[in-house]
Structures are given as C-alpha cells and as structure tokens.
Amino acid sequence: MQDKDIKILNRSYHFALRVLKMVRQLPAKNDVRIISNQLLRSATSIGANVEEAIGAYSKPEFAHRMSVALREARESHYWLRLVRDSGIVKPSRFSSVINEAEEIKKILGAIVRTSRTKKA
C-alpha cells in the first residue's frame, strides 16, 4: 500500500464522519430526509470503495474501484451544494465540507488517471 492510498483512505473516512455528523443536524422533514439519505450514502461509499480498491487483486480492479469512489465523491459534492443552496441551513456551515469534497474529487481523479495510464 502506497502513502497516497493511506492518505485518501484517511481523508475519505474523516469526510464521511463529518457528513454523518452534519446530516444528524439537518431538519427531519421528508424532503430534507431524502436528500440527507442520498448524501449519506454517497459520502460513506467513497471510503468504502477506496478501501476495496486498496485490497484489489489487480490494477484494473483497483482502477475500477477508485473510479467508483470518484463517482460517489462527485455525487456527494452535488448533494452538499444542493443542501447549501436550498436554504435549509446557513451556507457558511457547508463551505469547508464542500471544499473537502472538491479536494477528494481532485485526488481521486488523479489516482484514476494515473492507474489507467500505467501498464499492468
């Protein structure tokens, strides 16, 4: 396991924890609950797929799992922006977690690009 793998694994884990804590503070209205559930699923799926990628048996499997994690990071970023822009909470409460989602997307994107260009 490479140092960059450990970093993204830790970062995605802490991101999921932050989102979990934030979701618990959102109103319990049906429409908000639906969005909260979507956000929680995608945010926690990032780290789970990174974990699976690190344990992959082949480079193609690694690249596939990391690309799934990237898709989940994109989805999480979308839901976070939707919550922020909907007026459910103060936008400033979501700024840092949205920035973190963006950073995770960039890191995963670089990992996916690199893993697909390297020969197996």
- Tell me the pLDDT tens digit for each residue of 36-70: 999 999 999 999 999 999 999 999 999 999 999 99
pTM for the full predicted model: 0.90
Structural domain range at position 98: 3-117
Number of domains in the chain: 1
CATH of residue 67: 1.20.1440.60
Residues 6+ apart with CB under 8 A from 23: 36, 39, 40
Which of 51-65, 68-82, 105-119 has the least mean pLDDT?
105-119
CA distance 54 to 67: 13
